[in-house]
Amino acid sequence: MLPRQMVTVLAPAKLNLSLDVVGLLPGGYHALDMVMQAITLYERVTIRRSEGLSLRMPGSRVPANDKNTAIKAALAFFHYTGLLAGAEMVIEKRVPVRAGMAGGSADAAAVLVGLNALYGANLSMSELCALGAGIGADVPFALMGGSCRVQGLGDLLKPLPPCPDCWFTVVMPDYGISTPEAFAAYDRVGSTVHPDCAAQEAAIRAGDLAALAAAAGNALEECSGAKATPAIRQELLAHGALCALMTGSGAAVLGLFREEDKARQAAQALQSRWPQVYLARPDRGGARLVFPSGPKSGSFLV
- Numbers of helices and strands, H then E, in the chain: 9, 12
For residue 138, indicate whether it is catalytic: yes
Cβ neighbours of residue 231 closer than 8 Å, sequence gap 6 or more: none
Strands 288-289 and 167-172: unpaired
Question: What are φ and ψ of residue 82, in 5° steps?
Answer: 75, 10
- Catalytic, out of 14, 93, 107, 283: 14
Helix (H) or strand (E) holding 197: helix 197-206
Residues 6+ apart with CB under 8 A from 240: 257, 259, 262, 265, 266
Contact indicator for 151, 160 with CB cutoff of 8 Å: no
List of residues 6+ apart from 60 with CB closer than 8 A:
91, 93
Buried b (16+ CB within 10 A) or exposed e, 60-87: eebebeeebbbbbbbebbbebbeeebeb
Contact at 8 Å (CB) between 255 and 280?
no
Candidate list 20, 33, 138, 283, residue with the active-site label: 138
Cα dist. 138→37, 100, 185 in Å?
A: 12, 10, 20
Catalytic residues: 14, 138
